[in-house]
Structure 1
Amino acid sequence: MKSSKFLFVLVALFMFVLLVGCTENDSTSGEGNNDVNNNDSNTGNENIKQNDEVEEEKRYTIEAMFNLHTPETPSEYLLELIQDATNTNLNIQWVPDSSYEERLNAAFATNTLPQVLPMGFNMFNQYKEAIREGQFWEIGPYLEEYENLSKLNPDILNNTKVDGKIYSLYQGRPLSRQGLIYRKDWADNLGLEAPTTTDEFFEMARAFTEDDPNGSGENDTFGLTDRNDLIYGAFKTISSWFGTPNNWGEKDGQLLPEFMFDEYIKTMDFIKELHSNGYMNQDFAVTSKTDQSALFKNGTAGMYVGSMGDVMGTYNDAKDIIPDIEYDVHNHIEGPHGEFGVWAIPGYGSVILFPKAAVETEEDLRNILSFYDKLMTPEVANLLIWGVEGEHYEVVDGGALPIEENRHKIDSEVHPYLSLEIGEPETNGRHELVANYEPKVKADRLIRENNDYLIHDPTIVLDSETFVKDGDRLQQIIDDATYQYMQGQIDLNGFNDAVERWKNEGGNDIIAEFNESRDVINGRTPK
């Protein structure tokens, strides 16, 4: 009997709690009345919230390390948009570009590599042995499975191959941007046209120094501004005009370094004469790019050899100093042999590799490749490069025009994420810059025209263990001797002594190894 009474009390108590709970729910959802629609809406919102949480759980998280080319780490405004667009969570370590290689090597040594690992060309060469040892995923067989990754340029992919296999995605770059930017107003004042030969280039440098191109009546100008960089400064491009090979060339059936060719010597003689006559900045061997550019922007120098695309940024800075300044660009300058050529990069600025120690399974690799496939859609590629339409840029004539008054937002919110791009406009479909400055429009056209005159480096896919280990040290011997020769500090015998030192300290091994590697690739038996 007591048991029955106890059961009855429990049932009654349960019914009472249930009734009170239902009443409170009705009161709350109806805000004082029994509004069924409001109650359904609340339930719907809860479902949406739960769905969002489920969707968040489905996101794949990628650990990455990227070069930071700006003074400060970016805000996460664009990052959140990229994550939403790709349904991915990105944990990014931003590493200042100046210390990136050191950080990468430390991570490799301590086995703390991230899943996504960018490398520049030189670093890529240094890690080829680790690639051969199977420490990175081979991704070539997977690319055709992805709609957008399959569009990557096969010629550029070939330039990234290691032993005929593809291990990396690439960040595309024009094969050659090199040419001349010059003061058109000075040239007009002196009745000069754009130089078409190295002799005419020399004459422009002389006239810009001696013939008072700015009409000041003072000896306050000179021709060429250059810097302490034999590659991206003036030297390598002028060397191309003289017909020098790109890093390495073939002579008598053997690959040899560029500085063993007569054209390299002729280039040094040409710049030595510019220097000795005062037609270029005398301290060019120790001049930074910032100081080189300043000489060009402030009205001191009239000629700049380098990336023709720099003309727009140069003009934007220079017009604040000299409001009526005029620039123009030119590329086709023939050397003494009567031909025009220009050195080419491999078609990429950096590559992305995927360490097996961090990307543990094939499923992980596919998730990461899916993320990059989404990055190559035009919508996400535009987001990466240009930001948010209407906020950072406008679409004009099918291209992107940055909103000038929001330049500070572009610098802080957008530019750092350029490191994430894969491919190039031709493969990812993103907008190209709409230039409202005619010399920039011309520069873009000439950069495309350079593709018909490219001088390629034949060792791009070749291997040399000595080059990887000692190449930088040995190259410094040649760089020092090149500067010393052009400044008149040593003669040709002194330069040749430096070449012999290069050969004896490991250069002969590099020559042998590159030639052997070429023989292997071509199916020939090495000698």
Structure 2
Amino acid sequence: MLSCRKFVMGLMFVMLAMILLACNNESASSNEVEGGNDEDQSMDVGEGDQEPFAFTIMANLHTPEVPAETVLEEIEQLTNTEIEIQWVPDNNYEDRLNTAFATNTLPEAVFLKNQSTFIQFRDAIQDGQFWELDPYLDQFENLQKLKDNVQDNTRVDGKLYTLYQGRPLSRQGIIYRKDWADYLGLEAPTTTEEFFEMARAFTEDDPNQSGSDNTFGITDRNDLIYGAFKTIASWFNTPNNWGEREGELLPEFMFDEYFETMEYFKALHENGYINQDFPVTSKVDQQEFFKNGSAGIYIGSMGDVVSIYSDAVTINPDVELDVHNYVEGPTGEYGIWSIPGYGNLVMFPKSSVETEEELLKILGFFDQMMTPEVMNYAYWGIEDVHYEVIDGQALPVDDTALLDREVRPYQAIEVGEAETNGRYEGYFDYEPKAKSEDLFIDNENYLIEDPTVPLYSETFTRDGARLEQIITDATYQYILGQIDQAGFDAAVENWKSQGGQQIIDEFNENYSN
């Protein structure tokens, strides 16, 4: 009987040991899944068995309707998140944004639609109402890929508060009638003299072989920035909005190169090589001159070539277009003005993101967004449903209604650009459009940047648009021969007296060359 009891007790000890061993093994296995470097964990939005991390994004909507969540569900699954996107129509976005800010109801991630909106929040940023990101980005492999020069353009007092959505730094160049040029034996112009000659020939040498005097060289519009003037000014090496002279920042119109550009335009206008009423011509009418065969040169975004061609070919099936960027000025160099390199910017209000832990999780989401797998969903949609891959590039389906309904709105939450986030570039079967994309990249070798982008002037923010009109009017008046150099100089002095000199002083206060 005693030996039986000993046997039973021994058996119980063996079973207890086996249970304890199994528990220890399960605990060790669990630690292997959940453990690891705490810093690395901060980069995970919520992987494995963790609950999805939920937060809200406010973004601008460019399509008529709020998108279906087909794409969003794919993004949420890949990033283990639950995202509520507050879609706000683009034309009402700034009002809604300001209201949310005033009522302290901003969501965790807020997209600002452009540079001017960002400037409006500068005081709030300086007051510490948004998270500074410099202390955290070194924890995120993909966010570190964002371009330093673009991020520097968004800094406030040298500190970074935003993630940016990339834009080509310069799309500017020439779209021209290649069939006209071929008939006249002209190559793409590489100097301002050759460009002037093309404008002359397209006006005087019957490029459309009609036997009539019914064409002119350049079609332009009432826009000194996105029309022809600023691009041609770049060829003359005019500063981009502001430039430095003897250690001081001054506006572009106080440089000799700006005056040389006005002289060039005056000659184009006097000879009839540009539409005579361009200071009051709309963009629609400007493009219509080109599409209907009245003009042979369009200066602006080279990417417009595909939409212009689509309309022009319905009028003239034999039309041939090409794009070009490189035109040297009198100094023998090519330069092209650039934008700051971003569209939307996303910031993180401290009123809704209350802890570093929460901020790290949100940054972790955007870090995952900057991977090809996730970003292709956000930008292109679902492969073989919304696009197909041709030669390693994405070609959207022809169903534009489907794309507007399910894909295009999510492009507003992109961070970075194809170069940094790895998403597919677009595929274009129209060769000049594909060429324009290459020329955008080529332009980055010749950029003229605006040194005031990271600087701040309260007077410029308040009165800059009003004062700019003084110079715009004087520029047109000089080109049209209504004032001479003394008249233009008087306009500059007027600009200075009405607040321009204060803008100069404020920009230079924090400028270091």
Structure-2-length-normalised TM-score = 0.85
Equivalent in 245, 251, 255 of residue 251 of structure 1 = 245
User: How far does the alpha carbon of each residue in 1:290-336 deviate from its partner, in whole angstroms, 9 at most, with x for none?
Assistant: 33223322322211111222223332333233222111111111112
Task: Tell me how far 1:57 sits from its aligned partner.
Answer: 10
Structure 2 residue 422 is matched with structure 1 residue 424 = no
Q: Is the contact between residue 464 and residue 517 of structure 1 (CA under 8 Å) also seen in structure 2? A: no
User: How far does the alpha carbon of each residue in 1:202-259 deviate from its partner, in whole angstroms, 9 at most, with x for none?
Assistant: 2212222222212223333222122232222211111000110111111122110101
How many residue pairs end up in the alignment?
466
Structure 2 residue 121 is matched with structure 1 residue 127 = yes
Q: Report the counterpart of residue 407 of structure 1 in structure 2.
A: 400
Query: Could you say if the C-alpha distance between residues 238 and 56 of structure 1 is closer, same or farther in structure 2, counting changes exceeding 3 Å?
Result: farther
Q: Report the counterpart of residue 111 of structure 1 in structure 2.
A: 104
Which stretches in structure 2 are left out of the alignment for 5+ residues?
A: 1-47
Query: Could you say if the C-alpha distance between residues 501 and 325 of structure 1 is closer, same or farther in structure 2, counting changes exceeding 3 Å?
Result: same
Structure 2 residue 300 is matched with structure 1 residue 306 = yes
Q: Quick check: which has more Rg, 1 or 2?
A: 1
Q: Report the counterpart of residue 335 of structure 1 in structure 2.
A: 329
Give SS of 2:510's match: helix
Q: Report the counterpart of residue 163 of structure 1 in structure 2.
A: 157
Give SS of 1:140's match: coil
- Distance (whole Å) between structure 2 residues aligned to residue 93 and residue 298 of structure 1: 42
- Distance (whole Å) between structure 2 residues aligned to residue 356 and residue 304 of structure 1: 47
Task: Tell me how far 1:289 sits from its aligned partner.
Answer: 2.7
Structure 2 residue 382 is matched with structure 1 residue 388 = yes
Query: Could you say if the C-alpha distance between residues 199 and 452 of structure 1 is closer, same or farther in structure 2, counting changes exceeding 3 Å?
Result: same
Q: Report the counterpart of residue 176 of structure 1 in structure 2.
A: 170
Equivalent in 320, 323, 347 of residue 341 of structure 2 = 347
Write the letter of the residue equivalent to 2:149. D
- Distance (whole Å) between structure 2 residues aligned to residue 324 and residue 471 of structure 1: 46
- Distance (whole Å) between structure 2 residues aligned to residue 293 and residue 451 of structure 1: 26
Q: Report the counterpart of residue 89 of structure 1 in structure 2.
A: 82
Moved more, 149-158 or 249-258: 149-158
Which stretches in structure 1 are left out of the alignment for 5+ residues?
A: 1-54, 523-527
Query: Could you say if the C-alpha distance between residues 385 and 467 of structure 1 is closer, same or farther in structure 2, counting changes exceeding 3 Å?
Result: same
Write the letter of the residue equivalent to 1:78. V
Write the letter of the residue equivalent to 1:472. A
Query: Could you say if the C-alpha distance between residues 117 and 486 of structure 1 is closer, same or farther in structure 2, counting changes exceeding 3 Å?
Result: farther
Q: Report the counterpart of residue 193 of structure 1 in structure 2.
A: 187
Equivalent in 481, 500, 513 of residue 507 of structure 1 = 500
Query: Could you say if the C-alpha distance between residues 87 and 299 of structure 1 is closer, same or farther in structure 2, counting changes exceeding 3 Å?
Result: farther
- Distance (whole Å) between structure 2 residues aligned to residue 399 and residue 158 of structure 1: 30
Structure-1-length-normalised TM-score = 0.83
Percent same amino acid among aligned pairs?
63
User: How far does the alpha carbon of each residue in 1:472-492 deviate from its partner, in whole angstroms, 9 at most, with x for none?
Assistant: 222222223223333334333
Structure 2 residue 461 is matched with structure 1 residue 463 = no
- Distance (whole Å) between structure 2 residues aligned to residue 143 and residue 485 of structure 1: 50
User: How far does the alpha carbon of each residue in 1:34-82 deviate from its partner, in whole angstroms, 9 at most, with x for none?
Assistant: xxxxxxxxxxxxxxxxxxxxx9993333333222333444343333333
- Distance (whole Å) between structure 1 residues aligned to residue 109 and residue 337 of structure 2: 30
- Distance (whole Å) between structure 1 residues aligned to residue 49 and residue 487 of structure 2: 66
- Distance (whole Å) between structure 1 residues aligned to residue 224 and residue 108 of structure 2: 34
Q: Report the counterpart of residue 351 of structure 2 in structure 1.
A: 357
Q: Is the contact between residue 344 and residue 412 of structure 2 (CA under 8 Å) also seen in structure 1? A: no
Query: Could you say if the C-alpha distance between residues 228 and 91 of structure 1 is closer, same or farther in structure 2, counting changes exceeding 3 Å?
Result: farther
Query: Could you say if the C-alpha distance between residues 366 and 496 of structure 1 is closer, same or farther in structure 2, counting changes exceeding 3 Å?
Result: same
- Distance (whole Å) between structure 2 residues aligned to residue 70 and residue 494 of structure 1: 46
Task: Tell me how far 1:131 sits from its aligned partner.
Answer: 0.8
RMSD between superposed Cα atoms in Å: 2.3
- Distance (whole Å) between structure 1 residues aligned to residue 66 and residue 229 of structure 2: 34
User: How far does the alpha carbon of each residue in 1:156-213 deviate from its partner, in whole angstroms, 9 at most, with x for none?
Assistant: 2222221221100011122222111111011112221111111221221222222221
Write the letter of the residue equivalent to 1:416. P
Give SS of 2:83's match: strand
Query: Could you say if the C-alpha distance between residues 294 and 73 of structure 1 is closer, same or farther in structure 2, counting changes exceeding 3 Å?
Result: farther
Equivalent in 278, 292, 296 of residue 284 of structure 1 = 278
User: How far does the alpha carbon of each residue in 1:91-118 deviate from its partner, in whole angstroms, 9 at most, with x for none?
Assistant: 3333333343333333333333333222
Equivalent in 69, 73, 78 of residue 62 of structure 2 = 69
Task: Tell me how far 1:516 sits from its aligned partner.
Answer: 1.6
Q: Report the counterpart of residue 368 of structure 2 in structure 1.
A: 374
Give SS of 2:213's match: coil
- Distance (whole Å) between structure 1 residues aligned to residue 60 and residue 473 of structure 2: 29
Matched ranges for 1:193-212 at <5 A = 193-212=187-206
Q: Is the contact between residue 135 and residue 357 of structure 1 (CA under 8 Å) also seen in structure 2? A: yes
Equivalent in 466, 481, 493 of residue 488 of structure 1 = 481
Q: Report the counterpart of residue 41 of structure 1 in structure 2.
A: none
Query: Could you say if the C-alpha distance between residues 277 and 440 of structure 1 is closer, same or farther in structure 2, counting changes exceeding 3 Å?
Result: same
- Distance (whole Å) between structure 1 residues aligned to residue 510 and residue 374 of structure 2: 40
- Distance (whole Å) between structure 2 residues aligned to residue 246 and residue 233 of structure 1: 15
Structure 2 residue 220 is matched with structure 1 residue 217 = no
- Distance (whole Å) between structure 2 residues aligned to residue 98 and residue 285 of structure 1: 26
Q: Is the contact between residue 242 and residue 450 of structure 2 (CA under 8 Å) also seen in structure 1? A: yes
- Distance (whole Å) between structure 2 residues aligned to residue 285 and residue 412 of structure 1: 38
Q: Is the contact between residue 182 and residue 304 of structure 1 (CA under 8 Å) also seen in structure 2? A: yes
